[in-house]
Amino acid sequence: MLEKPSYLFVGAGRLARHLCAYFDLLEISYRRWSRQDKISFARATSGCDSIVLCIPDDAIESFIHQEAPALNHKPAWVHCSGNLSTPLAQSAHPLMTFGQNLMTLKEYRSIPFITEAGRADFKTIFPELDNPTYEVKAELKNFYHAWCVLAGNFSTMLWQSFFDTCEKRFDIPRTAAFPYLEKVTQQLQHDTNPLSGPLARGDKNTIKEHLDSLEGEPFKDVYAAFVKTFTALESKEPSHAKH
Classify 91 as helix, strand or coil. strand
Give whichever of 28 and 59 is closer to ligand NAP, judged by the CB atom: 59
**Chain-centroid distance, C-alpha 195:** 23
Contact 116, 135 (CB under 8 A): yes
Our finding on whether 55 is near ligand NAP (CB under 6 A) is yes
Our finding on whether 89 is near ligand NAP (CB under 6 A) is no
Q: Could you tell me the smallest distance in angstroms from the CB atom of residue 67 to ligand NAP?
A: 9
Q: What are phi and psi of 143, to 5 degrees?
A: -65, -45
Our finding on whether 81 is near ligand NAP (CB under 6 A) is yes
Element (H, E) at 10: strand 7-10
Candidates 91, 94, 108, 116: give the one binding ligand NAP (CB under 6 A): 94
Amino acid at 132: P
Strand 30-33 relative to strand 50-53, pairing = unpaired
Number of other residues whose CB lies within 10 A of the CB of residue 157: 12
Candidates 5, 11, 52, 141: give the one binding ligand NAP (CB under 6 A): 11
Classify 85 as helix, strand or coil. coil
Q: Where does this chain touch ligand NAP (CB under 6 A) — which range of 49-57, 156-164, 178-186, 219-227?
A: 49-57
Our finding on whether 36 is near ligand NAP (CB under 6 A) is yes
Our finding on whether 234 is near ligand NAP (CB under 6 A) is no
Candidates 48, 54, 78, 129: give the one binding ligand NAP (CB under 6 A): 54
Chain positions contacting ligand NAP, by CB under 6 A: 11-16, 34-36, 54-57, 59, 63, 79-81, 93-94, 96-98
